[in-house]
Amino acid sequence: MRYKLEPQDYELIEHARDAINDVFSYREGPYQKHRVGAAVRTKSGEVFKGVHMEIENGRMTICAEPVAIGSAFTACYSELDTIVAVRHPNPHDENQELKVANPCGACRELIAEYNIKIIGINTDGELIKTDIGEFLPFRDRVES
Protein backbone atom coordinates (compact mmCIF):
# COMPACT_ATOMS: atom_id res chain seq x y z
CA MET A 1 0.00 0.00 0.00
CA ARG A 2 1.22 3.49 -0.83
CA TYR A 3 0.75 6.53 1.37
CA LYS A 4 0.78 10.24 0.63
CA LEU A 5 4.01 11.91 1.67
CA GLU A 6 3.12 14.34 4.45
CA PRO A 7 5.15 17.29 5.82
CA GLN A 8 6.35 15.13 8.74
CA ASP A 9 7.76 12.64 6.19
CA TYR A 10 9.89 15.36 4.60
CA GLU A 11 10.98 16.36 8.12
CA LEU A 12 12.01 12.75 8.73
CA ILE A 13 14.18 12.88 5.60
CA GLU A 14 15.83 16.02 7.00
CA HIS A 15 16.49 14.23 10.31
CA ALA A 16 18.27 11.45 8.38
CA ARG A 17 20.29 14.06 6.47
CA ASP A 18 21.21 15.75 9.76
CA ALA A 19 22.34 12.42 11.22
CA ILE A 20 24.86 11.74 8.46
CA ASN A 21 25.93 15.38 8.10
CA ASP A 22 26.65 15.56 11.83
CA VAL A 23 28.92 12.51 11.58
CA PHE A 24 30.87 13.80 8.60
CA SER A 25 31.28 17.25 10.06
CA TYR A 26 33.68 15.85 12.67
CA ARG A 27 34.85 12.42 11.49
CA GLU A 28 36.36 11.16 8.28
CA GLY A 29 37.75 7.67 8.54
CA PRO A 30 39.41 5.28 6.13
CA TYR A 31 36.46 2.87 6.19
CA GLN A 32 33.70 5.33 5.46
CA LYS A 33 32.92 4.26 1.92
CA HIS A 34 29.25 3.65 2.58
CA ARG A 35 27.82 6.81 4.10
CA VAL A 36 24.24 6.47 5.26
CA GLY A 37 22.10 8.13 7.91
CA ALA A 38 18.63 6.98 8.92
CA ALA A 39 15.73 8.31 10.93
CA VAL A 40 12.75 6.43 12.30
CA ARG A 41 9.55 8.03 13.59
CA THR A 42 7.48 6.38 16.28
CA LYS A 43 3.70 6.20 16.09
CA SER A 44 3.59 8.91 18.77
CA GLY A 45 5.86 11.22 16.72
CA GLU A 46 9.30 10.92 18.34
CA VAL A 47 12.25 10.67 15.95
CA PHE A 48 15.40 8.61 16.45
CA LYS A 49 18.49 8.72 14.26
CA GLY A 50 21.22 6.28 13.33
CA VAL A 51 24.30 6.23 11.14
CA HIS A 52 26.02 3.46 9.23
CA MET A 53 28.95 2.15 11.24
CA GLU A 54 31.60 0.75 8.92
CA ILE A 55 34.79 -0.96 10.00
CA GLU A 56 37.55 -2.75 8.11
CA ASN A 57 36.04 -6.16 8.91
CA GLY A 58 32.91 -5.69 6.78
CA ARG A 59 31.19 -8.55 8.59
CA MET A 60 30.90 -6.30 11.65
CA THR A 61 29.53 -3.30 9.75
CA ILE A 62 26.11 -2.11 10.93
CA CYS A 63 23.63 -0.31 8.67
CA ALA A 64 22.04 2.98 9.73
CA GLU A 65 18.49 1.62 9.87
CA PRO A 66 19.10 -0.92 12.68
CA VAL A 67 21.04 1.72 14.61
CA ALA A 68 18.03 4.09 14.40
CA ILE A 69 15.59 1.31 15.32
CA GLY A 70 17.84 0.26 18.21
CA SER A 71 17.96 3.86 19.45
CA ALA A 72 14.17 3.95 19.56
CA PHE A 73 14.01 0.61 21.37
CA THR A 74 16.67 1.75 23.85
CA ALA A 75 14.46 4.74 24.68
CA CYS A 76 11.54 2.30 25.24
CA TYR A 77 9.67 3.12 22.02
CA SER A 78 8.65 -0.04 20.19
CA GLU A 79 5.71 1.19 18.11
CA LEU A 80 7.50 2.48 15.03
CA ASP A 81 5.75 4.11 12.08
CA THR A 82 8.10 5.21 9.30
CA ILE A 83 11.81 4.95 8.46
CA VAL A 84 14.04 6.56 5.84
CA ALA A 85 17.72 6.33 4.95
CA VAL A 86 19.81 8.97 3.20
CA ARG A 87 23.13 8.43 1.42
CA HIS A 88 25.93 10.95 1.76
CA PRO A 89 27.86 11.27 -1.53
CA ASN A 90 31.53 10.42 -1.77
CA PRO A 91 33.85 13.45 -1.67
CA HIS A 92 34.79 13.04 -5.35
CA ASP A 93 31.16 12.76 -6.57
CA GLU A 94 30.15 15.68 -8.77
CA ASN A 95 26.67 15.85 -7.23
CA GLN A 96 26.99 16.43 -3.48
CA GLU A 97 23.26 16.20 -2.75
CA LEU A 98 22.22 13.84 0.04
CA LYS A 99 19.64 11.50 -1.46
CA VAL A 100 17.13 9.02 -0.10
CA ALA A 101 18.45 5.46 -0.40
CA ASN A 102 16.59 2.17 -0.30
CA PRO A 103 17.52 -0.27 2.48
CA CYS A 104 19.60 -3.37 1.83
CA GLY A 105 17.98 -6.81 1.95
CA ALA A 106 18.85 -7.47 5.60
CA CYS A 107 17.42 -4.09 6.64
CA ARG A 108 14.27 -4.80 4.61
CA GLU A 109 13.82 -7.98 6.64
CA LEU A 110 14.29 -6.08 9.91
CA ILE A 111 11.87 -3.34 8.84
CA ALA A 112 9.32 -5.98 7.81
CA GLU A 113 9.65 -7.74 11.16
CA TYR A 114 8.46 -4.57 12.91
CA ASN A 115 5.97 -3.58 10.18
CA ILE A 116 7.48 -0.14 9.63
CA LYS A 117 6.50 1.98 6.63
CA ILE A 118 9.39 3.07 4.43
CA ILE A 119 10.20 6.19 2.46
CA GLY A 120 12.22 5.08 -0.55
CA ILE A 121 12.71 5.30 -4.27
CA ASN A 122 10.61 3.25 -6.70
CA THR A 123 11.77 1.82 -10.04
CA ASP A 124 10.87 5.09 -11.77
CA GLY A 125 13.13 7.05 -9.40
CA GLU A 126 10.20 8.64 -7.58
CA LEU A 127 10.11 9.25 -3.84
CA ILE A 128 7.40 7.10 -2.27
CA LYS A 129 6.08 6.07 1.13
CA THR A 130 4.89 2.49 1.27
CA ASP A 131 4.62 -0.66 3.31
CA ILE A 132 7.86 -2.63 3.26
CA GLY A 133 6.11 -5.39 1.27
CA GLU A 134 6.62 -3.36 -1.89
CA PHE A 135 10.36 -3.58 -1.32
CA LEU A 136 10.23 -7.18 -0.08
CA PRO A 137 7.59 -8.97 -2.14
CA PHE A 138 6.43 -12.49 -1.34
CA ARG A 139 8.02 -12.47 2.13
CA ASP A 140 4.98 -14.00 3.85
CA ARG A 141 3.99 -16.43 1.09
CA VAL A 142 3.97 -20.13 1.83
CA GLU A 143 3.05 -23.08 -0.32
CA SER A 144 -0.53 -24.18 0.22
Q: What is the arithmetic mean of pLDDT over 50-77?
A: 89
Is the predicted pLDDT of residue 81 greater than 60, yes or no?
Answer: yes
Q: What is the DSSP string of the chain?
A: -EEPPPHHHHHHHHHHHHHHHHHHHH---TT--S-EEEEEEETTS-EEEEE-B--SSGGG-B-HHHHHHHHHHHTT---EEEEEEEEPPPTT-S----EEEPPPHHHHHHHHHTT-EEEEE-TTS-EEEE-GGGTSTTTT----
Q: Which domains does the chain have, with CATH numbers?
A: 2-134 (3.40.140.10)
Of the CA atoms within 13 Å of residue 133, those in its CB half-sphere come to: 8
Parallel/antiparallel/unpaired status of strands 80-87 and 117-121: parallel
Q: Would you please indicate which residues are annotated as catalytic (active-site) residues?
A: 65
Q: What percent of the chain is predicted at pLDDT more than 90?
A: 64
Q: Distance between CA atoms of 45 and 88, rounded to whole angstroms?
A: 25
Structure confidence at residue 28 as a pLDDT band (50, 70, 90): low
The per-residue pLDDT for 83 is: 98
The per-residue pLDDT for 34 is: 64
